[in-house]
Amino acid sequence: MLTHVPPSSPSARPTDFDFLKVIGKGNYGKVLLAKHKSDGMFYAVKVLQKKSILKKKEQGHIMAERSVLLKNVRHPFLVGLRYSFQTPEKLYFVLDYVNGGELFFHLQRERRFLEPRARFYAAEVASAIGYLHSLHIIYRDLKPENILLDCQGHVVLTDFGLCKEGVEPEETTSTFCGTPEYLAPEVLRKEPYDRAVDWWCLGAVLYEMLHGLPPFYNQDVSQMYENILHQPLRIPGGRTVAACDLLQALLHKDQRQRLGSKTDFLEIKNHVFFSPINWDDLYHKRLTPPFNPNVAGPADLKHFDPEFTQEAVSKSIGCTPDTMASSSGASSAFLGFSYAPEDEAILDC
């Protein structure tokens, strides 16, 4: 299937888009729903303030995010980059627009999911993580807020700012990063860690989908870290043997014994919990999602937090300054950030 992409230009600019609504917020800026003026296509545009990024010395993470996003376009469960450009003050990521809501939003509303629904989401997420690992990328920030649903109810993984590229299967890295509730024990111990951290996070997200809270949750963060490091995993009753076994295997405190530590995604696929899943059908979206977000179209924002959507869109976001930043000009910290597709169509498989 071919997805139309707006005609290529040397570089996109803010005035190419109508910015309609705020749909999210992050550490360095906002995410907005935008419509491309030339062909009416809708996008999610992440607008980041350079000043904030440079102040916290995070430019390396931003450039890594751009690099990973460009590799995502061909995977069904990863959000893809369509354009990136910059002005003297701001960076713009133009991304696939997904309006079925965050998994976090649905989980808060329903408290927990039945096993078939949790299995479906976990399988699509595992497929995405397995693909990143095949490209020698560790994701490092898997959590329900970074898992979106598209308009049909399929998973779309987003936010690649903490990804680590170039990690071969036997290699490790050591940066302390992630979200407290989902940190693996080896990260907390500040030991070298490998791609098995992502399978720990998958276990934590699956546990939360089934039980309503992350596995070692405590309001006191230091106590939660203590729990992650030392407390045995407690699984409430009412779950199948297969689900309990998978949670124990993914949330193994020793990364060398954890499911996925040896042959990676293959071990996850072959676990009995996923035996109802036909992985080829899953990848090609031939499986019907267990939940339909029932969105009326791109303008239907019912699955976004009104805290965001009711906020006024700043006029400065859609303005193109007299001096656009080019890859050779204004900001040496973000050299090579800008991107526009060369082809008019991208294969959507």
Query: Quick check: 85 and 143 in contact, CB under 8 A?
Result: no
Cα 28–chain centre separation: 16
Q: Sort strands 42-49 and 155-157 into parallel, antiparallel or unpaired.
A: unpaired
Residue-range domains of the chain with CATH: 2-99+297-335 (3.30.200.20), 103-283 (1.10.510.10)
Note the pLDDT tens digit of each residue in 104-145.
Answer: 999 999 999 999 999 999 999 999 999 999 999 999 999 999
Mean pLDDT of the 5-28 span: 77
- Per residue, the 3-state secondary structure of the chain, as one string, reads CEEECCCCCCCCCHHHEEEEEEEEECCCEEEEEEEECCCCCEEEEEEEEHHHHHHCCCHHHHHHHHHHHHHHCCCCCECCEEEEEECCCEEEEEEECCCCCEHHHHHHHHCCCCHHHHHHHHHHHHHHHHHHHHCCCECCCCCHHHEEECCCCCEEECCCCCCECCCCCCCCECCCCCCHHHCCHHHHCCCCECCHHHHHHHHHHHHHHHHCCCCCCCCCHHHHHHHHHHCCCCCCCCCCHHHHHHHHHHCCCCCCCCCCCCCCHHHHHCCHHHCCCCHHHHHCCCCCCCCCCCCCCCCCCCCCCHHHHCCCCCHHHHCCCCCCCCCCCCCHHHCCCCECCCCCEEECC
- Tell me the average pLDDT across 265-282: 98
Q: What is the pLDDT of residue 3?
A: 40
The predicted pLDDT at position 259 comes to 98
Per-residue confidence band for 93, with pLDDT thresholds at 50, 70 and 90: very high
Query: pLDDT tens for residues 216-234?
Result: 999 999 999 999 999 999 9
CA–CA separation, 220 vs 146, rounded Å?
23
Question: In the annotation, is 141 catalytic?
Answer: yes
The per-residue pLDDT of the chain, averaged, comes to 89
Cα separations (Å) of 12 from 175, 318, 341? 34, 12, 10
- Per-residue pLDDT, 343: 44
Q: pLDDT tens, 35-44?
A: 999 989 999 9
Amino acid letter, residue 229: L
pLDDT at 263 over 70: yes
pLDDT of residue 123: 98
**Token pair belonging to 309:** 């959507």
What mean pLDDT is predicted for residues 287-314? Answer: 90
What confidence score (pLDDT) does residue 319 get?
A: 78
User: Is pLDDT above 70 for 25?
Assistant: yes
End-to-end CA distance of the chain: 7
- pLDDT score recorded for residue 155: 98
- The predicted pLDDT at position 330 comes to 43
Q: What is the pLDDT of residue 329?
A: 41
Give the pLDDT of residue 317.
87
- The answer on pLDDT for 311 being more than 90 is no
Please pick, among 16, 141, 150, 194, the residue that the annotation labels catalytic.
Answer: 141
Q: Is 109 helix (H, G, I), strand (E, B) or coil?
A: helix
On whether 55 is known to bind a ligand per the annotation, the reply is yes
Statement: residue 294 has pLDDT above 60: yes
Instruction: Please give the share of the chain, as a percent, with pLDDT higher than 90.
Output: 70
Task: Tell me which amino acid residue 289 is.
Answer: P
Per-residue confidence at 320, pLDDT binned at 50, 70, 90? confident
pLDDT given for residue 7 in this prediction: 41
